[in-house]
Structure 1
Amino acid sequence: MKQTAMNQEHGKARFAAQPIAFGANLGLFTPADRDAPQSDLAVLFLNPWGMEEMCTRKFYRILAERFSDIGVASLRFDYPGTANSLDDAATERGLSAWYEVIGKAAVELKMLSGTRNVVFVGQGIGASLALMQAHVEPSLAAIALLAPVTKGRVYLRELSLFSRLIDDGLAIKPELRDTAPGSIAGLRMPPAVADDIKAIDLNGLQISRTPPVFLAERPGFESDTTFRDKLEAAGCKLRPTAFAGYDALVSNPLNQTIPDALVDELIDWLQSLPHYLGRSAVPAKKPSSTASVRLGAIRETAVRFGPDDRLYGVLCEPTGGSVGVSAVILTTAYDHSAGWARSAVELARELAKVGVASLRFDSAGVGDSPPVPARRKQVLYDEAQIADVAIARDYMDGLAGSRRTFLIGRCSGAYVAFRSTVDDQRWDACLIVNPVAFRWRFKGLPKTLKAYFKNVLDLETVRRLWAGDVDIGAVTKNISMRLIDRMAGSLSPVFAPARPLTQLTRQVHDDFHALADRGTQLSIIYTEGDEGQEMFRVNFGTAGEKLSAYPNVELHLFPDADHNLTPRPARERLIELAKRQALSLALLLGEEKRDKRAARG
């Protein structure tokens, strides 16, 4: 069953989970549905690492929602030094810091839910931590192990291989690749954590407690079969199952598929546990109205906002003085609010250090924000996201201390940022990275002509065609668009009548004129060789010469970077440009204040 169909079947609009803070950690608490049977179980989710964490963010949110429907509350959180968590000295203590937070999260979950029994649900390295923590968690009722890491050294080698494949695919130069143990896709595993993971060997673990175990095995992995045999030999009440759809979930966040069958199996397993229909107590604690943590010059607050509190984000603010400028940082449709390689987290915190507040958030259907039932399942380049940006702006306008606000987005987030700035005159500036287009007329996400023709002879493409996984209509339409773009650029007298129908270049220039008339600053960043430049050249000339008509626009070319700005030097350069953008708006504010004082005489 597709997730979109599931939402329609359940017939309810979802709230974002309740943000909470426990100690120096932020979390998301999903209470049990009041209309569901009362349960004495609550689920604590334990994250995987790296790219797998990015891919399972939405999966975990869906599981939390479905668990709530059957009366089971849950809590999700990030380990120190990962995703949206703080980067404090705790990461230097390795896995002991992660174990410590797991223990605190379990206590918090029991207090918020009123339950006495906790179920650990973990994937990847999170599954390993769940089993290794079982002997110290007194309230543990059961464990769900989804594709657990059984041997740490093997896992780190696999990460290294996967990291090289990703870097190769992104064409990142060898000297710019992060080859530290555990690093992948620009995410650096804390060194002390990597050292501790090397020592993990679940097959050599002494299992002193034998709670019920749900084991999702990756098809074709002999190590998973060996581990299943160990659990059975230890006397665990085991429910093994094949992790159907594992590769489709974790291999590529852009085209991931939620394993609906596994979701249903987990729900059935939870309902079979002894304490499922037990009576829970009145919660000993209610979630605070504000979920904030602080470190040095920054304060971060997890928030939900918008109609029915359906959007989730993190507000990052300076603890010192504000310069009166704020930013809204958009995700793409596949990376959540932390951003690719935690780029949104780094950007937000560096802006806070110079007095600029920011909101990074998940649009509907992305990461921790539930979908809007009437919208498309695939939100990539969906115009409906513009409405979410307007809601974010409304939220920021309701906060004190900011008189100028600008948008930041990359890839599909760049497109949404640009369209939002054109449509909503409240935005004072916009900084976009590698926009594929300024007006959308493709079907799905197009490739360059070079990529299309290269894929024609690719065996994987042939396999997907044979399996019916390729939308032939979309490919045909997009190739036709690309070919006409090419010919129209060189044969303008012949193809001029077709331009309004195929390129929308005139409409793009109308948009740029509108921003220029408002005095809205626009910074466009392309990495050298990025495929988004193909459409940019159609609109503005081979060297961008037609941008000279717009004094409010700056064009920047980043060398030695991929579409996602994976190498750290590229991300650092983006941060400096964002700071410059913010401080230029602050300078305009200062000039306005001086003009007002002068007018008063």
Structure 2
Amino acid sequence: MTEYAKPKVQTIPAIAHADDGAIPFWMDVEGTKVFTWYHPAQGQEKQNQAIVLCNTFGSEAMLLHPAYRQLAIDLAAQGYPCLRFDYPGTGDSQGSPRAPELLASWLRSIHHAVDFLRNESGVARVSLFGILLGATLAAHAASQRKDIHALLLWAPYISGKNFLRAVKLQSSVITANTDNIRPADWCDGDSEAFGFLLTKEFSQALSTINLNKISEAPCKQAYLFARDTSSNEAKLAKVLSELNTELTFEDTAVEDLSAITAEMQIPTAINQKIISWLQDKEKQSSTDAIQSSSDPMPLEQQYATDSFSEEVVFLDHHEKLFSIITHPPIEIGNNTGILLVNGGSNHRVGINRNYTEWARAWAAQGYTVTRMDICGLGDTPPQKGQARNTLYLDSTLEEVRVNIEHLRNTLGLQKIVVAGLCGGAYQSLRFALTSQKIDGILLINPLRFQKPLKLEDGRNTHNSVQQLIATTSFLAFVLFFINYKNWSTLKRWGRTSLSLVKHACLQLLQQLKDLAQPKKWGTLSRYNLAAKELVTLTKREIHVYILCSNTEVILPFFKAALARYRRKLNKTPYFIMEELSSTNHILSPIWSQKKAYEQLSKQLKIVTERKD
């Protein structure tokens, strides 16, 4: 067994914190700033055990972010201090996926988190929790130490090779990159994990991890949850039992992990079982004396590099809005601020960590960039009565405004650009239509352009494509079809082209019905609404840029919706629309992430250099 050598734990003050008491900061791990949330024990009863939550990786980490956050909140509420963090080169942490010895730095961050949490909370015992690859890394890190009290593992990959095989299988069914395009910095042995880079060195290092080969007990107690009856956690259960670890094994699924990840749900049953198990074991175990922590630890809530600096902020608005601001070096800063609005149901790092990487690259060019969590997403809680992970809310516009006011009034920036993917694109567009204080919007793969229609019970009616079709006039469809430039794409779209013809005919019938009823003439203004709104923005000299994957389902219908006004839009310097092939809605092929960054950067330069 390779025993971990403890580093010196640095201590520093907490300033900003969430309403639940959680404190965001960057933990220094041998010179690398690791983004961390410390959840101090809440309530009157303080437990003598703390939990480090070891993250999983890639799309799994993105989809399980709400689950990790809620478990930390639930544990802290029961008196268990917790720490959750992003590994180097992931999330909001410093570093690159190409950094040498990346896996070793991940393991060092787990070890440092254990020492940091014990020192800060003053508890005698520290345990590790993880899901999927996070569980694998937690167990492996525990095997390198002698002081981990318990392991809480849900559906661990038994080996690094198992994880890599799962990634390969997943990649084989994703056909977005039809032309097999690679970015310029692609290296021999690189691979993609659904939009995340795996270098050859990282994959080789990960392949050496095998939990079945642990030779000494990694902890005193373990609580192991199987993914389902067909998964292989029973092998690990046998290994732990043979090493005299006191084991509790849930050999049937307590929660459907696939559903949890697909819907970004909270695994309430798992959380309850973990808390009950910890409390039961607490009663059975001998009482260790609670250690006294050292002086309050000053937690580093901002840090600087040669090319940018970052800080965490909470902005007052109903609940505290959480954002991270990336600043340029003072000597190269310009007068433009960028706000990145959550894409889909994901937190501020962006799908595939694009927002984090783009923010830092743009700061190195002189821009100040805020990546925000709207209410109900990421680390900003929902407003009272609001469900988690709810997109297309009117209230989000106020949250966007609060962040923009901070950029403009507090930081003194003169020009503001709002950008986002999917749901973030929708909110960027809607905010631009309601605000005079904006200079540009960058819309990446927007799926919806208009406010969703709702029934009396509050449920949305019409999906985004149906709603766009319903507000596109027959004349717009006709103008789209007679434009010879569209003919080649009509052939490529296949059945979608037939659908366009079908809906053009339906719109003709609907408009004839409306014209036959004078009372409905006032409703004709709803036609071509998306195009009219874009024209309105360009008349206000707001720079509008739309970047769309050419496989987007809504793209043909959006082009038809623009047809009547396309000539007018093309004449103005304030409207640009471009397409990307060989990619998908979330830009998972890495080459397309880099291409999107290049295209967006060009638009930012146009806005910055434009004379008012």
Is the TM value for this pair above 0.5? yes
Shift in alpha-carbon separation, 1:73–1:330, aligned structure 2, 3 A: same
**Alpha-carbon distance, 1:356 to partner:** 0.7
Cross-structure match for 1:228: 237
- Given the alignment of the two structures, is residue 173 of structure 1 paired with residue 140 of structure 2, yes or no? no
Structure 1 residues 236 and 439, CA, compared in 2 at 3 Å: closer, same or farther?
Answer: same
| Residue 156 (structure 1) aligned to one of 150, 164, 188 | 164
Q: Structure 1 residue aligned with 2:142, among 134, 145, 150?
A: 134
Does 1:245 pair with 2:231? no
1:70 to 71, 78, 84: 78
- Superposition RMSD in Å: 3.2
Distance 1:496 1:413, change over 3 A: farther
TM-score, normalised on structure 1? 0.81
Task: Give the alignment's TM-score, normalised by structure 2.
Answer: 0.80
Offset, 1:256: 3.4
Alignment of 1:382-421 (within 5 A): 382-421=393-432
Aligned partner of 1:512 in structure 2 is 534
Give 3-state SS (helix, strand or coil) of 1:327's partner: strand
- What amino acid does structure 2 have at the position aligned with 1:494? L
In the alignment, structure 2 segments of 5+ residues that lack a partner are 1-17, 454-459, 467-498
Give the superposition deviation at 1:22: 1.8
Q: Does 1:426 align with 2:437?
A: yes
Q: What's the counterpart of residue 471 of structure 1?
A: none
C-alpha deviation, 1:361, in angstroms: 1.9
Q: Please report how far the alpha carbon of residue 493 of structure 1 lies from its aligned counterpart in structure 2 after TM superposition.
A: 4.7
Return the offset for 1:297: 0.9
Correspondence 1:494 to 2:509:
no
1:212 aligns with 2:221: yes
Q: How far, CA to CA, are the matches of 1:330 and 1:63 in structure 2?
A: 25
1:491 Cα shift?
5.3
Match for 2:88 among 75, 80, 87?
A: 80
CA deviation digits over 1:128-159, x for unaligned, max 9? Answer: 22112224445422111111111222321111
* 2:202 corresponds to: 193
Distance 2:572 2:150 in 1: 62
Q: Deviations over 1:18-70 (max 9, x none)?
A: 11122122333343354241122221111111111111111101111111211
Distance 2:522 2:463 in 1: 20
Q: Which amino acid in the other structure matches residue 440 of structure 2?
A: A
* 2:562 paired with 1:540: yes
Over residues 405-448 of structure 1, what are the superposed CA-to-partner deviations in whole Å (9 max), with x where a residue is unaligned? 11111111110111112122222211101212221335378376
Q: What CA distance in whole angstroms lies between the structure 2 residues aligned with 1:502 and 1:289?
A: 58
Distance in 2 between residues matched to 1:336 and 1:568, nearest whole Å: 19
Which whole-Å CA distance do the structure 1 matches of 2:290 and 2:405 have between them? 39
- Match of 1:160, SS state, is helix
Q: Where does residue 472 of structure 1 map in the other structure?
A: none
In the superposition, relative to structure 1, how do residues 28 and 97 fare at CA in structure 2: closer, same or farther (>3 Å)?
closer
2:463 to 422, 433, 446: 446
Please name the residue that 1:530 is paired with. 552
Secondary structure of the structure 2 residue equivalent to 1:405: strand
- What residue is the counterpart of 1:467 in the other structure? none
Moved more, 364-373 or 55-64: 364-373
Change in Cα spacing, 1:162 to 1:559, as seen in structure 2 (3 Å) is: closer
Question: Quick one: distance in 2 between partners of 1:87 and 1:220?
Answer: 38
In structure 1, distance between residues paired with 2:527 and 2:75: 48
Matched position secondary structure for 1:86:
coil
Cα distance, 1:340 vs structure 2: 1.6
Asked if the contact 1:407–1:431 (Cα under 8 Å) also holds between the matched residues in 2, the reply is: yes
String of CA shifts for 1:268-309, please: whole Å, max 9, x gaps.
122223379877455435454752233431222233333376
C-alpha distance in structure 2 between counterparts of 1:414 and 1:276, whole Å = 55
Tell me the CA shift for residue 190 of structure 1: 3.8
Distance 1:209 1:51, change over 3 A: closer
Aligned mates of 1:17, 1:182 — CA distance in 2 = 36
SS at match of 2:56: coil
* Alpha-carbon distance in 2 for matches of 1:537, 1:221: 47
Alignment CA distance shift 1:205-1:139 (3 Å) = closer
Percent sequence identity over aligned pairs: 20
Runs of 5+ consecutive residues of structure 1 not aligned to the other structure: 1-12, 450-480, 593-601
Over 3 Å counting, the alpha-carbon distance change for 1:421 and 1:280 in structure 2 is: farther
